Structure 1
Amino acid sequence: MFIEIAMIGAGTCVGLGVGFLLHRYISDKQVSDSRGLAERIVEEARKESEALKKESRLQAQDEIFNQKKELEREFKDRETQLKEEQKRLQSKEERLDAKREKVADKEAQVVELEKHLIKQEKQLADLEEDLERKADEHERRLQEISGLTAEEAREKLLAEIESRTRHEAARMVRTIEMEAKENAAKKAREILSLALQRYAGDYAGEQTVTAVTLPSEDMKGRIIGREGRNIRALEAATGVDLIIDDTPETVVLSAFSPLKREVAKLALERLIHDGRIHPARIEEVVKKVEGEMDAKLKEIGEQATFDVGVHGIHPELVNLLGRLHYRTSFSQNVLQHSMEVAFLCGVMAAELGLNEKEAKRAGLLHDLGKAVDHEVEGPHAVIGADLAKKHGESKEIVHAIAAHHEDVPPMSILANLVQAADSLSGARPGARKELLENYVKRLEELEGLATSFDGVSKAYAIQAGREIRVMVDSERVGDESTYVLCKDIAEKIENNMTYPGQIRVTVIREKRAVGYAK
């Protein structure tokens, strides 16, 4: 048993030894193979590296060659450019040399010309002296022959030239006027007559007092109050003077402002109807009436815009239009006048093919400044234009408002339309009232202004001062001079007088022969 075990152990040892030797052999062989493979890889890598080095060296040589060729080409281009630049510089130098030579030649010519001019100036000075001497001699001989001094002859010559020139100017003015009238008068008459025919406005004279009817005579005492307290409170609250006289059952309210008179009238009527009249109640009623009046002004303005057919006006401007209902100008209601101007502008704009709505808008707003002219400094046309501009009206409307009294020069057809319609509305018969003393004074001033001209024998103001007829002395004023005289009179009237509308100037020259048969 032991022997078997020993044999088994010996066999195992032998197997292990053989296996170890076999394993070592295999390992050595693998190492040897690996070394051969490594050597081959190293050899291949070395060969590949040498190939890459050669290829890189060749590429570097090619690149250096290409760069060298590029540099040589650039050098040649630069050299060519430098040669061309050198040629251009040389050409410029040659041109400059030529110019210098020309300048030198011109300088020499200028010097020669200066010498020649100096010589001519001397000759001219000698000639002038000779001419002056001969002119003096000639003038002395003319004075001896004519018996007139040089100043007298000059004045006579100037007078003759002036007379001849005035006659020529008068003839030209007459020709131009006739041509203009032939082309424009007919159409203007048609437009204006049509505008006046299509609109006929009513006229009602405005006063500065308003009468309030009382239910009884006892009410006068209650209005006056104890020691006049009530009447003083009413006058202080409304700004209106109360006149209580012997007129039965009537109290008169006096004020220049129709708006204040209306407020006072409504407040007094309410106080009379209520029966409670004392200072506190008066102040309360007046404030209430003033608030209601603001709403009424807006309503009046809206009605005016509706009647004219103009929409989209700013509410503040509508309120100002309502205030114009209680504003007068030469006793003419300003709101009624504004509506009349709007209608006239619309009619004339339609005849001329213009924007009718824009013309009506400008006509309605043209006197807007009169609603606040006592509160703001300046002409009412400029004030109205500023208000219209502030509340979004167009530039054309603003300019037409500002120019309707020529506070600024009219620069558009619309401005001239508004100006013409304003004159038509104010100048038509019955539109405005004028005191007799002022009327007579204006007529006398008009006639005196016309008779102040040389050659005028008589002057007559006719048609309520709308026309003046001037009679001239036929011996002193010629036919052509009448046109110049007419222009001078019209210009002097424009510069020295204030009047509504326009004044027609007619100069009449006639020759009369009078004989008697006995």
Structure 2
Amino acid sequence: MPQVSLLYVIIAGVVGLILGIVFAAVYFLSGISGRQKRLEEDIAKSKEDSNVLLANAQKEAENNKRDLLLQAKEEVSRVRSELEREARDKKQELAKERNRLEQKEENINRIEANCERKQEEIEKRQQNVAELEARAKDYEQRKKAELERVSGLTIADARSLVLDEAKREYTHDMAIMLKQMEEKTKQDADKVAKDIIVNAIQRYASDYVSEVTVSVVNLPNDEMKGRIIGREGRNIRAIETITGVDLIIDDTPEAIVLSSFDPIRREIARMTIERLVADGRIHPARIEEMAGKARKELNQTIKTEGEKAAFDTGVMNLHPELIKLLGRLRYRTSYGQNVLQHSIEVSWIAAMMADELGLDSNLARRGGLLHDIGKAVDFEQEGTHIQLGVEIAKKYHESPAVINCIEAHHGDVEPLSAEAVLVAAADAISAARPGARRENLETYIKRIEKLEEIATSFEGVEKSFAIQAGREIRVIVSPDKVSDDEMTLKARDICKKIEDELDYPGQIKVNVIRETRATDVAK
């Protein structure tokens, strides 16, 4: 149908073109009268031609219309045939799929039947197994009853008897093996260790003078006490306010006592009072001036002492603040032992032992010098001197090996190097030397009581006695509860608990005593 319409349009266009030509010719030839008749004839002829063309076009359009209708019918027939063929194919596929599903359904039904049959078989087998288990259990019970009747022991008694026998054999073997290993280790190590330690101590031998923590300032006369107190106590208040130290003025002739938890403040106060006494002019302004001078002089002295300690031990490249903290240890004591002198001694002893063993003497020397650096500030900050020492070493970028020497010298953590072990040993040697340290009576009694309490906390211990100022403890055990083989293990357990719970200088020897007595009466 669209082709027919296009044909009509073409015919109309041709007709219009022809008419336009005719009109144009008429227009141009209207002035020529001579040709008017001929023009009319031409126009009439053109009309006839146009009618003929129009008729032909209509006829051709009809023919094309019939052709297109035939083509459309043929196309419809073809499409219908294809659709019918596809429908037949689909029906065949559906029939095949239906057959497959029916086969699968048959298979499933067959499998379900097999499963039901197998389930019935399993249930029967389970019943058989339950019957067999019941028969086996009954047989086991009858067998145990027969064994108990024959042996005269119950199962629990027999088990306990076997375990006790195994425990006795195991304890005996372990005690013998442990004793042999200890004897062999001691034979091999005692001589070498003693030689190294004795050699280090002999090479670094120094005298100790016990130091006190309370400063005493001697006065030329008792009249000077009044001048230090001042009118209405203004001078003594000024001294205490400026220096932060308590002045104790009692009946002691020609002396006053300075008391403070801070040794640096106490030293500044001592220097200030000595200068005021020497100068004779004692008033608040002069006190403040003298305290300032004493503080500057002491800071310089602290720096000099730190540099001297680093130079004497051969420890180089220390941070300036670490040198100042070392100098502050000059005015710090521990059980009457000067901490700076103790640190220098630990540094030398650890380095000498490291040289003997072929280890890093520089690391041992540095770790020994800095192992108690936390005591320079432990009266100002919270924490133990080990925690503070580790923080200081980290702050001033000391190596991890040196930090471990500081952290491990009292056993708070495991030593990560042999040099850290040497620093801990040198610290114990320096502290345990005769005359190096002294304890007050209260601390000593508490340590002895704690030592005896640890020993008596073990099962089978009847009594314990600490002797030789706590360097040895004798433990008396009950012979009924502790055998000869168990004595070695008991001694080791007591040593381990003492190491974990008690702080002490040097070593503590544990003697376990087991005594069997036979008593009878003659009548």
Partner of 1:325: helix, strand, or coil? helix
1:266/1:289 contact within 8 Å kept: yes
AA in 1 matched with 2:240: E
Q: Say whether residues 1:400 and 2:400 are aligned partners.
A: no
1:208/1:257 contact within 8 Å kept: no
Equivalent of residue 449 in structure 1, options 446, 454, 457? 454
AA in 2 matched with 1:282: I
* Residue number in structure 1 paired with 2:357: 352
* 1:510 positional shift: 5.8
AA in 2 matched with 1:398: I
AA in 1 matched with 2:200: A
Output the CA distance in 1 between the equivalents of 2:271 and 2:157: 80
Provide closer, same or farther for how the CA distance between residues 247 and 170 of structure 1 changes in structure 2, counting only shifts above 3 A. same
Q: After alignment, is 114-123 or 140-149 more displaced?
A: 114-123
* Residue number in structure 2 paired with 1:244: 249
Deviations along 1:61-95, one digit per CA (max 9) or x if unpaired, are: xxxxxxxxxxxxxxxxxxxxxxxxxxxxxxxxxxx
1:341/1:422 contact within 8 Å kept: yes
* 1:322 positional shift: 0.4
* Residue number in structure 2 paired with 1:84: none
Deviations along 1:280-335, one digit per CA (max 9) or x if unpaired, are: 32222212211221111000111111222222211111100000111122222111
Q: After alignment, is 419-428 or 152-161 more displaced?
A: 152-161
1:470/1:508 contact within 8 Å kept: yes
Q: After alignment, is 455-464 or 404-413 more displaced?
A: 455-464
Output the CA distance in 1 between the equivalents of 2:491 and 2:255: 55
Provide closer, same or farther for how the CA distance between residues 134 and 325 of structure 1 changes in structure 2, counting only shifts above 3 A. farther
Q: Say whether residues 1:434 and 2:435 are aligned partners.
A: no
AA in 1 matched with 2:174: A
Provide closer, same or farther for how the CA distance between residues 516 and 141 of structure 1 changes in structure 2, counting only shifts above 3 A. closer
Q: Say whether residues 1:314 and 2:319 are aligned partners.
A: yes
Provide closer, same or farther for how the CA distance between residues 334 and 157 of structure 1 changes in structure 2, counting only shifts above 3 A. same
Q: Say whether residues 1:161 and 2:183 are aligned partners.
A: no
Provide closer, same or farther for how the CA distance between residues 413 and 296 of structure 1 changes in structure 2, counting only shifts above 3 A. same
* 1:457 positional shift: 4.9
Q: Say whether residues 1:210 and 2:215 are aligned partners.
A: yes
Output the CA distance in 1 between the equivalents of 2:182 and 2:366: 34
Output the CA distance in 2 between the equivalents of 1:502 and 1:127: 67
Q: Say whether residues 1:367 and 2:405 are aligned partners.
A: no
Q: Say whether residues 1:220 and 2:225 are aligned partners.
A: yes
Q: Say whether residues 1:424 and 2:434 are aligned partners.
A: no
Output the CA distance in 1 between the equivalents of 2:133 and 2:380: 71
Partner of 2:398: helix, strand, or coil? coil
Output the CA distance in 1 between the equivalents of 2:300 and 2:129: 89
* Residue number in structure 2 paired with 1:53: none
Provide closer, same or farther for how the CA distance between residues 281 and 511 of structure 1 changes in structure 2, counting only shifts above 3 A. same
Provide closer, same or farther for how the CA distance between residues 395 and 437 of structure 1 changes in structure 2, counting only shifts above 3 A. closer
* 1:485 positional shift: 1.1
Output the CA distance in 2 between the equivalents of 1:154 and 1:373: 59
Return 5+ residue gaps in structure 2 as ranges: 1-114
AA in 1 matched with 2:169: R
* Residue number in structure 1 paired with 2:258: 253
* 1:143 positional shift: 5.0
Partner of 2:392: helix, strand, or coil? helix
* Residue number in structure 2 paired with 1:71: none
Partner of 1:285: helix, strand, or coil? helix
* Residue number in structure 2 paired with 1:232: 237
* 1:150 positional shift: 4.8
Deviations along 1:208-237, one digit per CA (max 9) or x if unpaired, are: 322212233222111111111110110111
1:212/1:252 contact within 8 Å kept: yes
Cα-Cα RMSD? 3.3
AA in 2 matched with 1:378: G
* Residue number in structure 1 paired with 2:82: none
AA in 2 matched with 1:505: V
> Normalised by the size of structure 1, how large is the TM-score?
0.70
Q: Say whether residues 1:136 and 2:149 are aligned partners.
A: no
Output the CA distance in 1 between the equivalents of 2:180 and 2:158: 33
Provide closer, same or farther for how the CA distance between residues 279 and 183 of structure 1 changes in structure 2, counting only shifts above 3 A. same
AA in 2 matched with 1:166: T
Q: After alignment, is 317-326 or 185-194 more displaced?
A: 185-194
Partner of 2:331: helix, strand, or coil? coil
AA in 2 matched with 1:273: A
Provide closer, same or farther for how the CA distance between residues 511 and 187 of structure 1 changes in structure 2, counting only shifts above 3 A. farther
2:210/2:435 contact within 8 Å kept: no
Output the CA distance in 2 between the equivalents of 1:228 and 1:190: 62
Partner of 1:507: helix, strand, or coil? strand
AA in 2 matched with 1:392: H
* 1:135 positional shift: 3.0
1:196/1:344 contact within 8 Å kept: yes
Output the CA distance in 2 between the equivalents of 1:460 and 1:414: 36
Equivalent of residue 291 in structure 2, options 280, 286, 289? 286
* 1:496 positional shift: 3.6
Equivalent of residue 301 in structure 2, options 293, 296, 304? 296
Return 5+ residue gaps in structure 1 as ranges: 1-110
Provide closer, same or farther for how the CA distance between residues 428 and 145 of structure 1 changes in structure 2, counting only shifts above 3 A. farther
AA in 2 matched with 1:368: I
**What does residue range 19-30 of structure 1 map to in structure 2 within 5 Å?**
none
2:360/2:419 contact within 8 Å kept: no
Deviations along 1:242-300, one digit per CA (max 9) or x if unpaired, are: 11222222222122333222110101111222222222322222122112211110001
1:389/1:398 contact within 8 Å kept: yes
* 1:515 positional shift: 10
Provide closer, same or farther for how the CA distance between residues 250 and 161 of structure 1 changes in structure 2, counting only shifts above 3 A. same
AA in 2 matched with 1:463: Q
Output the CA distance in 2 between the equivalents of 1:278 and 1:120: 111
**What does residue range 73-112 of structure 1 map to in structure 2 within 5 Å?**
none
1:369/1:382 contact within 8 Å kept: yes
Output the CA distance in 2 between the equivalents of 1:121 and 1:198: 86
1:382/1:407 contact within 8 Å kept: no
Q: After alignment, is 247-256 or 134-143 more displaced?
A: 134-143
Output the CA distance in 2 between the equivalents of 1:117 and 1:323: 88
1:241/1:253 contact within 8 Å kept: yes
Output the CA distance in 2 between the equivalents of 1:117 and 1:505: 69
Output the CA distance in 1 between the equivalents of 2:126 and 2:410: 60
Provide closer, same or farther for how the CA distance between residues 287 and 140 of structure 1 changes in structure 2, counting only shifts above 3 A. farther
Partner of 1:302: helix, strand, or coil? helix
Output the CA distance in 2 between the equivalents of 1:320 and 1:120: 86
Output the CA distance in 2 between the equivalents of 1:516 and 1:146: 41
AA in 2 matched with 1:346: A
Equivalent of residue 502 in structure 1, options 497, 500, 507? 507
2:364/2:420 contact within 8 Å kept: no
2:477/2:513 contact within 8 Å kept: yes
**What does residue range 62-77 of structure 1 map to in structure 2 within 5 Å?**
none
* 1:468 positional shift: 1.6
Output the CA distance in 1 between the equivalents of 2:471 and 2:480: 28
AA in 2 matched with 1:342: S
Provide closer, same or farther for how the CA distance between residues 240 and 273 of structure 1 changes in structure 2, counting only shifts above 3 A. same
Provide closer, same or farther for how the CA distance between residues 138 and 308 of structure 1 changes in structure 2, counting only shifts above 3 A. same
* Residue number in structure 2 paired with 1:187: 192
Q: Identity over aligned residues, as a percent? A: 53
AA in 2 matched with 1:170: A
Deviations along 1:85-108, one digit per CA (max 9) or x if unpaired, are: xxxxxxxxxxxxxxxxxxxxxxxx
